[in-house]
């Protein structure tokens, strides 16, 4: 419903303000809408609020936007929730708050951190490829 309001009320304003900044991307979005949405959400090439406006600017299909966003942000959500769960488990495992080194050496903590670093490395290479 909100997408409909944006298209009806804000489409001209958004196109006037943002389309000239992103006109190089118009060709990319015409060909591969789903793939580009996954990469935009995963890599974070543009700020999150701008990525929310992309469907209006480039007439992205709703299903491509929804599933691209879902798949693109899923790794980050999984890593952050795993890290939070690991910290919760580690805190209840010790009677007093453990030193940082002890926390980082627990598999519940360092696996999500390694996953986060892997996402950063992949994002770095994808960013270079698409610039």
Structural domain boundaries enclosing 89: 2-130
Alpha-helical (H) ranges within the chain are: 2-5, 11-14, 23-31, 33-43, 48-58, 62-93, 100-104, 107-130
Contacts of 131 (CB under 8 A, 6+ apart): none
Instruction: Report the residue count for the chain.
Output: 131
d(CA 112, CA 89): 14
Split into its structural domains, the chain has a count of: 1
What's the first-to-final CA gap in the chain, in angstroms?
33
Give the pTM.
Answer: 0.61
Q: What is the pLDDT along the chain (131 residues), one digit of tens a residue?
A: 444 445 555 666 666 666 666 666 677 677 778 887 887 787 766 777 777 777 777 778 888 888 888 888 888 888 888 888 888 887 788 777 778 888 788 888 888 888 888 887 887 787 677 65
């Amino acid at each position: 419903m909100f997408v409909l309001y944006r298209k009806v009320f804000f489409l001209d304003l958004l196109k006037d303000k943002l389309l000239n900044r992103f006109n190089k991307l118009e060709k990319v979005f015409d060909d591969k809408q789903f793939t580009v949405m996954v990469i935009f959400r995963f890599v974070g090439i543009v700020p999150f609020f701008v990525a929310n406006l992309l469907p209006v600017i480039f007439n992205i299909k709703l299903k491509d936007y929804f599933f691209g966003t879902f798949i693109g942000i899923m790794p980050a959500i999984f890593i952050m929730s795993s890290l939070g769960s690991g910290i919760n488990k580690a805190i209840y495992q010790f009677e007093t708050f453990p030193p940082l080194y002890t926390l980082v050496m627990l598999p519940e903590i360092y696996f999500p951190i390694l996953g986060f670093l892997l996402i950063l490395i992949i994002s770095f290479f994808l960013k270079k490829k698409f610039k």
